[in-house]
Structure 1
């Protein structure tokens, strides 16, 4: 199953991209790097530049229907850039409209807030997003990972890089259910 990893051209927290990517790949799925522009993206290790990664597909030229799930890595700048891009926001919303699994870590739920998909859901994130999530109608919890089932859509959220093992395990579990 193809799994989209949506990131901005710069600002993604590298470990929040590479660890879920590896987990998805190890589980037999095909990770696909989707961004708002073609070329490469610049990842970061907190505030320091990290590696660069080749973009596989561009938002606006692909659709949620061609993927079995979506991963939204964090980093402070990454979701802030994405939430300002109408095509990226629509791409995220489409996964919810099609009841496909979505996973978001750290600051990534900012994009979910912008897509207006947190209302009535229970999720976690980096603690500074609590008020944004609550103002958007969601319920914020301080847990390493939270799986929220609403209808046939499953949302997996996590707080920070220290929670990556739980985050990856939960999303791979959700994907196994979606594939079966």
Structure 2
């Protein structure tokens, strides 16, 4: 598969998404020709933030989480933002969707707090990840291994997990997503 033929799903809550952790993958992947769908809890505008507190860009979602399924996509992206992921990690649709991607052997890319969703989905056991340091204990308590690196790509358990710590790591993160789709 070529990146320009890929179908990527980005999932978020409608508020509290770290702006660049959403907009960089969304726009960079679209620029390569990938078909990118932004799915949110509702069809209300998605309000991003910068550093979890400053108002950011507002984006319009393409679909609701309840209306998308893993079978239609090649890769899942979970942006960070503490408030975003704190809400999405308890959303039944987001949990089920994430589990579907893993069970179908499809790559999942999570940046910063995004890996929290994988903890709640029961997918971290045996995986190595580099999320933000604030959720290190959550990763380890869920049976995962934490690394403080700009990028970790783990193929354990039959599916690829791509993780990065923070916005400063976005070049590595987006590059790894593109490589996973190529």
TM class, shorter-length: over 0.9
CA shift for structure 1 position 60 = 1.5
**1:5 corresponding residue in structure 2:** 10
**2:179 corresponding residue in structure 1:** 173
Calculate the TM-score normalised by the size of structure 1.
0.95
Which of 104, 107, 112 is the matching residue for 1:101? 107
**Mapping for residues 84-123 of structure 1, pairs under 5 Å:** 84-123=90-129
Which of 45, 48, 51 is the matching residue for 2:50? 45
The answer to whether 1:22 aligns with 2:19 is: no
**2:3 corresponding residue in structure 1:** none
Q: Is the 8 A contact 2:126 2:157 kept in 1?
A: no
Q: Is the 8 A contact 1:69 1:100 kept in 2?
A: yes
**Mapping for residues 113-152 of structure 1, pairs under 5 Å:** 113-152=119-158
In the alignment, structure 2 segments of 5+ residues that lack a partner are 1-5
The alignment yields a C-alpha RMSD, in angstroms, of 1.0
**1:58 corresponding residue in structure 2:** 64
Which of 67, 77, 80 is the matching residue for 2:83? 77
CA deviation profile, 1:130-177 (whole Å, cap 9, x unmatched) = 10000000000011000001244111000000100011111110111x
More strand by share: 1
Q: Is the 8 A contact 1:23 1:172 kept in 2?
A: no
Q: Is the 8 A contact 1:95 1:101 kept in 2?
A: yes
In the alignment, structure 1 segments of 5+ residues that lack a partner are none
CA deviation profile, 1:84-129 (whole Å, cap 9, x unmatched) = 2111111111110111111000011111100010100011110011
Q: Secondary structure at the match of 1:108?
A: helix
